[in-house]
Amino acid sequence: MRPSNGGMSKPIDWASLLGQQVRENSRRFFRLACNIVRDPVEAEDICQTAFAKAWSAQSAIQDSAALKAWLLSTVANEALQCARRRKTEQRLLGNRAGHSEEDMAPSERAALKEAVRNALLTLPEQTRLVVVLRVMQGMSGNEVASSLSCSPSEVSRRLYEGLEKLRASLADWGVVVEDTSHGL
């Protein structure tokens, strides 16, 4: 179903409508994202993601007046998700023997992130899925179990196994990998 035009029978040109929202409100969307993530580059990416989602969801947005509110909500949700993901990453992988990620040079930060990616890739697929979903995406153990069609005890076992392997792989970096398995 296409967005309505306030009761008028003339169909709305979705590309024009979305383009109008981008022209008129892109600064507002950007400021909202930037205020949440505190990073202009990430804020731009978040806005682009919201616009792409709006394009994909055009059949679900049935009122042209609702598009602006839908975009604001989507930008806010994307930004909050990005901020949570960054916070989790910093908490779990930025704990380096008393040093924060902000203390690191950009090249060292990039090298650490690459080391973490490589360490994750060494994990067996099911173990990697559990670690990524539970730790990086912040899902509960029960949510992970439901998503992967396994028992919560299996999630706990795989999480423990994965975190132990990550600790060993990242020991040279002085990374402290926290155990987040409490309270599935």
Residue 125 · residue 134 · CB < 8 Å: no
3-class secondary-structure state, position 44 = helix
Total number of domains in the chain: 2
Q: Give me the domain span that covers residue 20.
A: 14-89
Co-location of 61 and 109 in the same domain: no
Co-location of 104 and 138 in the same domain: yes
Over residues 7-61, the pLDDT tens digits come to 444 456 888 888 988 999 999 999 999 999 889 999 999 999 999 999 888 888 7
Over residues 126-176, the pLDDT tens digits come to 999 998 888 877 778 888 898 889 999 999 999 999 988 988 888 777 665
Co-location of 52 and 73 in the same domain: yes
CA distance 50 to 93: 28
CATH of the domain at 44: 1.10.1740
Residue 75 · residue 46 · CB < 8 Å: yes
Helices 152-169, 141-148: axis angle to 10 degrees equals: 110
DSSP state of 102: G
Co-location of 32 and 71 in the same domain: yes
CATH of the domain at 118: 1.10.10.10
For residue 181, tell me if it sits in a domain.
no
